[in-house]
Amino acid sequence: MPSETLARPTPDVIAKYEPVIGLEVHVQLASRTKIYCGCPTGFGAAPNTNVCPVCLGMPGALPVLNKTVVELAVMTGLALNCRINPLSRLARKNYFYPDLPKGYQISQFDQPLAEHGWVEIEGKRIGVTRVHIEDDAGKSQHEGFKDSERNTYVDLNRCGTPLAEIVSEPDMRSAAEAYAYVTELKQALQFAEVSTCDMEKGHLRCDANVSVRLKGATKLGVKAEVKNVNSFRFLREAVDYEILRQIGVIESGGRVMQETRLYNPDTGETAGMRSKEQAHDYRYFPEPDLVPLRVGERWLGEIRSRMPELPAARRNRFLHQYGLSDYDAGVLTASRDLADYFEKAAAASPDAKAAANWVMGDLMATLKAEGKEIAASPVSAERLGELVTLIAKGELSGKLAKEIFPKMFATGDAPAAVMQREGLQQISDTGTIAAIVDQVLAANPKQVEQYKSGKTAVMGFLVGQVMKASRGQANPALANQLVKEKLG
């Protein structure tokens, strides 16, 4: 295929085109049991142990829709600003695959659970076409390289694992926007606790539909669908590669084929897998073993009332309530646990901005160094609040606080207890500080002279020396006052 070896288009050629991207994201819904039976969904069980006649697709076995799964899917829709349809339908999507013993998935087709949503990225809304529920298939494992030695094993534990499929509008115009969209989507779903979205465990999977068209064109170009994009970084790389490949094909007089392609992270390239002519005809029809799905006003209201504040709203509130910068609000809402921690620390201290700085600075750095999550922080939010309070009240210098914090982290103790134990309390005794001031003035006659001849700026230096001599323990206000007095 010549298209695979095309030269990279030049920047001015690239600039003639507009990329168009739409994403299909599958997330595993955080239900302990499967979507159409009561088998556990746990990860890592021995192969073919979490199965029953329903998820094994035995003839005559009947599915029962899991209520929790529906609620999680409704929350998914709400988290993505969708309209929840009061009536939706399950539908059979027929295809043969060795790890799909039923011979079909029970999905949704023309009447999905949720529609018409959006995700906001950097001030731009990306449309969410639909959210629907379906069951996952099992897993095939290939072993051996030569055909003669090759064995394939099938593990059906994953059959019936509940998924939500989230289909976007073709609203993204760059790999960066695609990246921002999945990042935002993942964060919203994690806040709503509908899915862990753990990509390493396959709890979030992403297919990228990519096309290009000449700028100003109104019709969409022919798209290729890139599968197997199993990290956000790969998504960006795969979309970027695909954009350049398609421009190259068109520029050399060719036509982009509608096809499914696979991303290879080792080469950073995509390669054709099957063309549209080979695409499945899924022969969708309404699932005869399940009644239509009704989500009435009352149930919807109940589910809605369980929705937490979502990341975008929380970021916005942090800006106004705590006077944080855009950047800080973004960092502190990276996860719900972190945002909760910060708000508790802020509530326990008189200075929210200082609390934010401690959380984003020393705390996050130490957690990272120790490989700990915020939820497992040995320094509780209340204790961090106490530290910030002591600094704000002038009972602790910033420098001493930096020394005390690692000791709080190591022991979980309150800052006051660490100060007591380590003899790090602030010295607020006038006599003790006065003695230090005398020493400092005696040791720096030149600066004292300068001060007396009118260079009063030198006072800062002298106070600094007093602080240093007291190992940072002198009450700074008192040190300041005494130096001034003694200089007369």
Q: What angle do CA 472, 476, 481 make, to 5 degrees?
A: 140
121 counts as binding Zn ion under rule CB under 5 A: no
Binder to ligand ADP among 63, 117, 138, 170 (CB under 6 A)? 170
The stretch near Zn ion (CB under 5 A) out of 11-19, 51-59, 194-202, 376-384 is 51-59
* Shortest reach from residue 22's CB to ligand ADP, in Å: 2
DSSP 474: B
Pick one of Zn ion, ligand ADP, none as the site partner of residue 404 (Cβ within 5 to 8 A by kind): none
Pick one of Zn ion, ligand ADP, none as the site partner of residue 366 (Cβ within 5 to 8 A by kind): none
Kindly tell me which of 21 and 400 has the beta carbon lying closer to ligand ADP.
21
* Shortest reach from residue 197's CB to ligand ADP, in Å: 18
209 counts as binding ligand ADP under rule CB under 6 A: yes
Residue closest to 476 by CA, chosen among 455, 459, 451? 459
Q: Could you please report the per-residue DSSP string of 71-123?
A: HHHHHHHHHTTPEEPSEE--EEEE---TT-TTSEEEE--SS-SEEEEEEEETT
Binder to ligand ADP among 17, 20, 324, 339 (CB under 6 A)? 20
Instruction: Find the farthest-apart pair of alpha carbons in the chain and give their distance in angstroms, rounded.
Output: 102
Pull the structure tokens for residue 320: 């106004």
Residue closest to 470 by CA, chosen among 400, 386, 381, 367? 400
176 counts as binding Zn ion under rule CB under 5 A: no
22 counts as binding ligand ADP under rule CB under 6 A: yes
The stretch near Zn ion (CB under 5 A) out of 36-44, 311-319, 353-361, 464-472 is 36-44
Pick one of ligand ADP, Zn ion, none as the site partner of residue 37 (Cβ within 5 to 8 A by kind): Zn ion
Binder to ligand ADP among 50, 76, 195, 211 (CB under 6 A)? 211
Torsion of CA 79, 22, 160, 264, to 10 degrees: -130
* Shortest reach from residue 232's CB to Zn ion, in Å: 32
Rg for the chain, CA atoms, rounded: 31
Torsion of CA 263, 21, 214, 13, to 10 degrees: -40
167 counts as binding ligand ADP under rule CB under 6 A: yes
* Shortest reach from residue 161's CB to Zn ion, in Å: 10
Up-side HSE of residue 72: CA atoms within 13 Å toward CB? 27
- 162-168 and 151-155: which strand pairing? unpaired
434 counts as binding Zn ion under rule CB under 5 A: no
Binder to Zn ion among 21, 25, 35, 39 (CB under 5 A)? 39
Binder to Zn ion among 21, 55, 192, 479 (CB under 5 A)? 55
Pick one of ligand ADP, Zn ion, none as the site partner of residue 193 (Cβ within 5 to 8 A by kind): none
* Shortest reach from residue 167's CB to ligand ADP, in Å: 5
> Each residue of 218-245: b (16+ CB within 10 Å) or e?
eeebbbbbbbbbbebebbbbbbbbbbbb
Pick one of ligand ADP, Zn ion, none as the site partner of residue 52 (Cβ within 5 to 8 A by kind): Zn ion
Pull the structure tokens for residue 156: 């059906």
Residues 213-232 that bind ligand ADP (CB under 6 A): 220-221, 223
309 counts as binding ligand ADP under rule CB under 6 A: no
Other CB atoms within 10 Å distance of the CB of residue 174: 16
Q: Name, in order, each residue with C-beta under 8 angstroms of 148's C-beta and a sequence gap of 6 or more.
A: none
Contact 245, 270 (CB under 8 A): yes
Count of residues of this chain found to bind ligand ADP when the rule CB under 6 A is applied: 15
168 counts as binding ligand ADP under rule CB under 6 A: yes
Binding residues for Zn ion (CB under 5 A): 37, 39, 52, 54-55
Binding residues for ligand ADP (CB under 6 A): 20-24, 167-170, 209-211, 220-221, 223
